[in-house]
């Protein structure tokens, strides 16, 4: 299976329109001769179009340079990840490798033919002075058929896909196309073919007061789904984004728990915690490996005694592999599918109670106050440093500030700049507390690495040196917390929470 990142933009192409001259756009010096292709693709989806609704497109295409199975993830008009797999002449079902990547988006349901796109394509390459291919520009004459309703549409469009070019080239080409009358197209071909059925699957209206809360939670659910393929393949950014989305969902369900059935909400929070505990070891091992590698490289060579870099690489390569196996097992499980379908029921259904905007603001204010109280207790107690109690208290304050920041983010569409300002101040507090917690964990990892090195007869000097540097950094971070706390509590930053 091949995985590529597709960066393209789409534009309308009216009947009789002519592609303008694109030389001079972003370093383009030559436009190649045209090549004509005929493409035929069948798109598969669930009965309720869960893939399309989640920003996925699964197709089996014949013709062109990359015939076979394709799974695209991401919105049209931006960067999309495409997973490609060859298809035999009688291969009518997607391969298991692709099924594992879209299973979450499909909620475990079977997929079948949903739309057929036939396309006469004329493609050209945009070249620079060194004959590098910067981008490909194609003119498509398309027929889209909904294979369930039989509805047929026909249209023309232009696609510009980057090869070795950059966003500046895309912008320059877009300007030239707009001058010629073309306009951006915000949806993919399959979405356009399925437009009528997709419109019928939309959720009903939500009360204005709670809409921001529901929309925020739905966006986090969608982030889980969007990052499922990358996380399953071990992509660091996807694992991170998926983990953050799970945290945001947990925090939102807790902060605004009165909106939904309490038993269902509590059960989903527990399941999100389970998911987070499968994502956490993968991300933590990835981050720790990079953190320690960077720390070792920052030291003068004469202070790195023994095979420290090799030992770090060995240790964390094994940790990442083991954690990734556990994550894949979780993402392939029925338990994960049940979690997603439970979120669908809770978030796409009507709230359990009717509330006004003041109720939402009070919940936000309470989340911020809870975080303030935890930080004040942590800083006021100041137990002996070697007791570990202060580290635990600061970590609890950090988690509370995360929940508070997520709550403030919910109010950002309505509150505007004041909410943005407070979220930024809370993020700074969270960053300092997070750096302190990272130091706590890093010191423990270094201590254990030193014990292993000692047992193997290796020099432990470098581990001790790095441990001391981490302790010093933690002290600096704690001292900076008080100033960050004061900035986050200034009246002009908090005043809007009294509304």
The tens digit of pLDDT for each residue in 267-325 reads 999 999 999 999 999 999 999 999 999 999 999 999 999 999 999 999 899 999 999 99
Identify the top-confidence range among 85-94, 347-356, 358-367.
Answer: 358-367
Residue in 205, 249, 199, 202 with CA at minimum distance from that of residue 223: 249
Cα distance between residue 154 and residue 156, in whole Å:
7
Lookup: tokens for 260: 């939904």
Beta bridge partners of 72: 57, 82
What three-state secondary structure class fits 356?
coil
Cα angle 93-231-66, degrees, rounded to a multiple of 5: 40
User: Which two structure tokens, joined as six digits, stand for 461?
Assistant: 């000097």
217 within 8 A of 252, measured Cβ to Cβ: yes
What are the tens digits of pLDDT across the range 391-422? 899 999 999 999 999 999 999 988 899 999 99
What tens digit of pLDDT does each residue of 83-134 get?
999 887 777 889 999 999 999 999 999 999 999 999 999 999 999 999 999 9
Q: Identify which of 389, 363, 371 has the alpha carbon closest to the alpha carbon of residue 427.
A: 371
Smallest CA-to-CA distance from 415 within 494, 352, 338, 351 is with: 494
At residue 16, φ and ψ (nearest 5 deg) are: 80, 0
Q: How many CA atoms lie within 13 A of 347 on its CB side?
A: 24
**187 Cβ neighbours under 8 A, 6+ residues apart:** 76, 195
Indicate the pTM of the whole model.
0.90
User: What are the residues whose beta carbons fall under 8 Å from the beta carbon of 203, sequence distance 6 or more?
Assistant: 348
119: which strand partners? Answer: 39, 142
pLDDT score, position 499: 64
> How far is residue 201's CA from residue 49's CA, in Å, rounded to a whole number?
8
């Amino acid at each position: 299976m091949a995985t590529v990142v597709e960066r393209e933009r789409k534009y309308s192409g009216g009947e009789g329109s002519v592609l303008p001259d694109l030389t001079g756009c972003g370093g383009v010096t030559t436009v190649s001769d045209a090549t004509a292709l005929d493409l035929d693709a069948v798109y598969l989806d669930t009965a309720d179009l869960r893939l399309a609704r989640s920003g996925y497109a699964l197709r089996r295409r014949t013709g062109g340079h990359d015939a076979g199975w394709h799974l695209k993830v991401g919105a049209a008009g931006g960067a999309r990840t495409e997973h490609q797999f060859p298809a035999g002449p009688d291969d009518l079902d997607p391969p298991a490798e692709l099924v594992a990547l879209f299973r979450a988006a499909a909620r475990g349901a079977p997929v079948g033919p949903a739309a057929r796109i036939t396309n006469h394509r004329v493609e050209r390459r945009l070249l620079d002075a060194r004959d590098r291919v910067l981008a490909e520009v194609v003119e498509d004459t398309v027929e889209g058929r909904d294979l369930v309703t039989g509805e047929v549409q026909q249209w023309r469009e232009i696609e510009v896909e980057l090869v070795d070019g950059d966003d500046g080239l895309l912008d320059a080409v877009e300007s030239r196309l707009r001058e010629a009358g073309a306009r951006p197209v915000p949806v993919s071909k399959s979405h356009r073919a399925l437009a009528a059925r997709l419109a019928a699957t939309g959720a009903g209206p939500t009360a204005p007061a709670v809409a921001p809360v529901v929309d925020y939670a739905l966006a986090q659910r969608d982030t889980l789904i969007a990052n499922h393929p990358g996380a399953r393949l071990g992509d660091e950014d996807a694992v991170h984004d998926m983990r953050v989305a799970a945290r945001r969902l947990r925090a939102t369900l807790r902060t605004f728990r009165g909106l939904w059935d309490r038993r269902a909400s509590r059960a989903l929070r527990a399941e999100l915690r389970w998911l987070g505990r499968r994502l956490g070891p993968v991300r933590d091992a990835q981050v720790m490996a990079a953190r320690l590698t960077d720390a070792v490289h920052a030291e003068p060579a004469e202070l790195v005694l023994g095979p420290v870099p090799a030992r770090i690489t060995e240790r964390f390569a094994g940790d990442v592999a083991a954690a990734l196996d556990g994550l894949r097992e979780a993402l392939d499980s029925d338990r994960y599918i049940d979690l997603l379908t439970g979120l669908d029921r809770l978030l796409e259904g009507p709230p359990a109670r009717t509330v006004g905007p003041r109720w939402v603001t009070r919940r936000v204010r309470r989340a911020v106050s809870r975080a303030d109280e935890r930080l004040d207790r942590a800083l006021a107690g100041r137990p002996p440093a070697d007791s570990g109690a202060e580290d635990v208290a600061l970590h609890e304050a950090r988690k509370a500030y995360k929940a508070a920041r997520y709550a403030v983010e919910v109010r950002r569409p309505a509150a505007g700049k004041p909410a943005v300002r407070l979220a930024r101040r809370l993020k700074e507090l969270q960053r300092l507390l997070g750096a302190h917690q990272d130091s706590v964990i890093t010191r423990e990892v270094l201590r254990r690495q030193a014990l292993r090195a000692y047992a193997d007869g290796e020099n432990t000097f470098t581990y001790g040196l790095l441990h001391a540097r981490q302790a010093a950094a933690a002290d600096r971070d704690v001292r900076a917390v008080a100033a960050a706390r004061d900035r986050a509590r200034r009246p002009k930053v908090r005043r809007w929470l009294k509304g």
